[in-house]
Chain A
């Protein structure tokens, strides 16, 4: 029997705000233990939450970029459970009435486009971190660091629209790219600012009903998500083929062993007793606010790839590479604006130097000037590379460095004639052989001229002049 998988993904993305969602503590990563805490985020008696406007705006922008319907009224609720990393013993989240509903993202699949539905996007606060003293099984105590408590998160829940691990990976990457383009999340999976849980089930191909799903957690890279999905699908199919059934459970991805394992501990506590948080009033979003935020949505990755490929004369492959970062794509466009020439060359240069671009070490002028000077023969390909490296090292403009280092090349045929004549005169035997048909000797003469000009001659022009003089 042939099986197909049904995959839905839940992403928790940390919003790139300066402060926390309900208090003025810093939301920065990596501070000393309990440094970024106050009475509000440590849940002291009598303190109250006040909502961070920017966190709302970031979530609305995400909703607009994923074609969700932003809800004019949404409600914060309390999710009640006890854990030492949850100071109030409830997490403020949105439950019945989330901020956004019913959107979608288009991904590339099987050479075409596939639409993946987004069920909802809601806002919530993060919990703190528990460090287990000793880090071994017999640890007698755990240590709570509450720095992350109340860091703003949004949860983006997809429809169960994906059928393969590759589609899952494509959806996640596209979603991550969108969030990074919007500058609402840094997309860092390793630091936990972009986390993914998966719901996976399998069913015989053609069957309408879903199978029993397992929830997968603990996948901290795109590759791990795909590997965990692959493993889990195989496991479930084998289970069914062996005559067993799939248990509804939460499983953890063990990246070292490449397997998913059932999460230990009882599920008894899953009665969260949600109710509207009386300390926060309903979140009201009017159309004027949505319209103003809509204007701040930049061109998104999919649109950018399509536009660059269709209007800039570069390949779709290059367009995708450039669009992997909004900054890189912007850099490329700025560079091409300064010097048009052959955009493919500019695209290659931008992709080649993308780390320096990301680090802000080179400007669009650097690449535009490098490409222009090469195309007009002012510098050699080697000199171009050397010059960009010098720009990165010194921070000086490329053309200033070209003059300082004497890396311009001679492309004037008239200026080269004297040197060419001199070289021919110094090598009469070789000139004779060339004229007798040993065409391969041309490169010998080119080399001699280059040596004579200390590499500053344009080899293409040298060849032309040599052919004329030897001919």
Chain B
């Protein structure tokens, strides 16, 4: 039953074919067996999830109105604060943090009737593309456990791919939902900036961060986005627009849609031939169903990574300054004064990647360098945004690879941060522009590693993404769950 889609599971509980207790029990058992192999969960809520499932079954027995995800077990990336449930953000510095509040996403998921199974592993403070920077150890790719699942929402993508939950919610600052979705053979959506509330979602780079669904099918992703999207007064950057019927968009024909192919994306050095081949199949799938391919140009693409690696660390250096050992979280034991306490707390509480980015960001904002780095990056961000504005005047959606290569091996890129950063080249521009993006499986490499296609659309045009991604999914079906060795 772990292979069911989110929609199937929701329907079966609703139709009383199965109880929430049975479903939750089955997944908790599976987590117990599989999770030690892939380390997708940092916290599993054994008792709490069963208690919640029991409560859901009782609600249903009373004939009360049910939410769309009634009784269905899900997981959240451990970046979403959950009241009274340890929320670590993959960091030692928050290893014992008990938030006294729920993130807006956690509230919405609970209000939809879903059952929370646990919290997913992630790169520390979402800084990474491999889930190797987690304080709680790396997550492994369910398709090949010697390889990384992508990141930073690697725990979420791996859990969904391994059938350890029916859906998850991750976050995406420079590709952190789409890239692991691509590498784990699942669907991941980065919604338009402002579509999903950031309240209670631990900040990495506030002007880029956005929460979004990770699921095994496009209709499931559409359903899940419908649950977590919407205006929230507690987030000043949340946009007050109605939430459309996303699942309906996943059923619309793609006929007549203009799909842009940005030439710069296909000229990138190091684009794996298997990825190139899979992209051709994805394009064929769209064209066969009546879409029209249009070559376009996004001329500032090659500047996106440099721009991102100023803006994101700069914002992060400020966002992560609050972890000072005063009010919550880890505090180093020191005999000295305040400054020493803070400096040692942060030195011991943060991992190498987080420290590196805090250093870059602090440098970029410091006296004398602001204009040359942060000011410059903000202007180039405008140029990248304009590229997309011009493109979306001509096309409805843009098709690109999600990642230049399939999943790489654990440890392969940890020694060279810049190479790791460059692997985000296809996903980063979308965050800089604030537009929505989706990654949908579109093939396998010769070694049996999943490959994803990325689709991008204009602001608040998530429906276009679901229509196009569903067309690719229909033409290029992918296995429901990763065939874990011995599972």
The answer to whether A and B touch directly, with their CB atoms under 8 angstroms apart, is: yes
Interface contact A39-B100, CB-CB below 8 Å: yes
A47 touches which of B79, B101, B315, B318 (Cβ 8 Å): B101
Determine whether A448 belongs to the interface, using a CB cutoff of 8 Å to chain B.
no
Interface contact B322-A80, CB-CB below 8 Å: no
Determine whether A89 belongs to the interface, using a CB cutoff of 8 Å to chain B.
yes
Separation in Å of the A197 CB from the closest CB of chain B? 22
Separation in Å of the A306 CB from the closest CB of chain B? 44
Interface contact A43-B233, CB-CB below 8 Å: no
Interface contact A82-B324, CB-CB below 8 Å: yes
Decide yes or no: A48 and B198 within 8 Å by CB, A43-B322, A89-B324 being known contacts.
yes
Contacts of A142 in B (CB 8 A): 338
Count of chain A residues with Cβ under 8 Å from any Cβ of B? 29
Determine whether B81 belongs to the interface, using a CB cutoff of 8 Å to chain A.
yes
Q: How far is the CA of A45 from the CA of B97 in the complex (A)?
A: 10
Interface contact A88-B322, CB-CB below 8 Å: yes
Contacts of A89 in B (CB 8 A): 318, 321-322, 324
Determine whether A49 belongs to the interface, using a CB cutoff of 8 Å to chain B.
yes
Binary A-proximity of B313-335 (CB < 8 A = 1, otherwise 0): 01101100110101110000000
Determine whether B342 belongs to the interface, using a CB cutoff of 8 Å to chain A.
yes
Contacts of B101 in A (CB 8 A): 39, 44, 47
Separation in Å of the A398 CB from the closest CB of chain B? 52
Binary B-proximity of A25-47 (CB < 8 A = 1, otherwise 0): 00000000000000100111111
Determine whether B99 belongs to the interface, using a CB cutoff of 8 Å to chain A.
yes
B342 touches which of A45, A78, A82, A88 (Cβ 8 Å): A82
Q: How far is the CA of A107 from the CA of B294 in the complex (A)?
A: 70
Decide yes or no: A46 and B318 within 8 Å by CB, A275-B374, A279-B206, A280-B236 being known contacts.
no
Residue of B nearest to A42 (CB): B327
Determine whether A338 belongs to the interface, using a CB cutoff of 8 Å to chain B.
no
Contacts of B338 in A (CB 8 A): 84, 142
Separation in Å of the B49 CB from the closest CB of chain A? 22
Determine whether A138 belongs to the interface, using a CB cutoff of 8 Å to chain B.
no
Interface contact B322-A45, CB-CB below 8 Å: yes
Q: How far is the CA of A260 from the CA of B233 in the complex (A)?
A: 47
Determine whether A90 belongs to the interface, using a CB cutoff of 8 Å to chain B.
yes
Interface contact A43-B327, CB-CB below 8 Å: yes
Contacts of B203 in A (CB 8 A): 45-46, 279
Decide yes or no: A45 and B199 within 8 Å by CB, A273-B365, A280-B236 being known contacts.
no
Residue of A nearest to B314 (CB): A275
Determine whether A87 belongs to the interface, using a CB cutoff of 8 Å to chain B.
yes
Q: How far is the CA of A82 from the CA of B327 in the complex (A)?
A: 13
Residue of A nearest to B194 (CB): A281
Contacts of A43 in B (CB 8 A): 322, 327
Count of chain B residues with Cβ under 8 Å from any Cβ of A? 44
Decide yes or no: A275 and B198 within 8 Å by CB, A82-B324, A84-B338 being known contacts.
no
Secondary structure at chain B's binding surface: helix, strand, loop or mixed?
loop
Contacts of A39 in B (CB 8 A): 99-101
B-facing residues in A3-57 (Cβ within 8 Å):
39, 42-51
Binary B-proximity of A57-71 (CB < 8 A = 1, otherwise 0): 000000000000000
Contacts of A280 in B (CB 8 A): 236
Residue of A nearest to B338 (CB): A84
Q: How far is the CA of A45 from the CA of B89 in the complex (A)?
A: 10
B321 touches which of A42, A47, A82, A279 (Cβ 8 Å): A82
Binary B-proximity of A106-118 (CB < 8 A = 1, otherwise 0): 0000000000000
Determine whether B370 belongs to the interface, using a CB cutoff of 8 Å to chain A.
yes
Q: How far is the CA of A80 from the CA of B365 in the complex (A)?
A: 10
Interface contact A90-B200, CB-CB below 8 Å: no
Q: How far is the CA of A87 from the CA of B362 in the complex (A)?
A: 18
Residue of B nearest to A272 (CB): B367
Q: How far is the CA of A44 from the CA of B328 in the complex (A)?
A: 8
Interface contact A87-B327, CB-CB below 8 Å: yes
Interface contact B99-A45, CB-CB below 8 Å: yes
Q: Which of B207, B315, B318, B370 has the most CB of A within 10 A?
A: B318
Q: How far is the CA of A46 from the CA of B105 in the complex (A)?
A: 12
Determine whether A144 belongs to the interface, using a CB cutoff of 8 Å to chain B.
yes
Binary A-proximity of B91-123 (CB < 8 A = 1, otherwise 0): 000100101110100000000000000000000
Separation in Å of the B71 CB from the closest CB of chain A? 27
Residue of B nearest to A43 (CB): B322
Contacts of B295 in A (CB 8 A): none
Separation in Å of the B374 CB from the closest CB of chain A? 6
Determine whether A241 belongs to the interface, using a CB cutoff of 8 Å to chain B.
no
Determine whether B234 belongs to the interface, using a CB cutoff of 8 Å to chain A.
yes
B-facing residues in A266-282 (Cβ within 8 Å):
271, 273-275, 278-281
Q: B residues within 8 Å of A by Cβ?
A: 79-81, 87, 89, 94, 97, 99-101, 103, 198-203, 205-207, 233-237, 314-315, 317-318, 321-322, 324, 326-328, 338-339, 342, 362, 365-367, 370, 374
Known interface pairs A80-B318, A82-B324, A281-B236; 11 further A-B residue pairs with C-beta atoms within 8 A, sorted by A's residue number: A44-B99, A44-B328, A46-B79, A47-B199, A48-B235, A78-B318, A82-B321, A271-B366, A273-B367, A274-B370, A279-B236
8 examples of A-B residue contacts, CB within 8 angstroms:
A39-B101, A45-B89, A45-B94, A46-B99, A46-B103, A48-B237, A50-B235, A90-B318
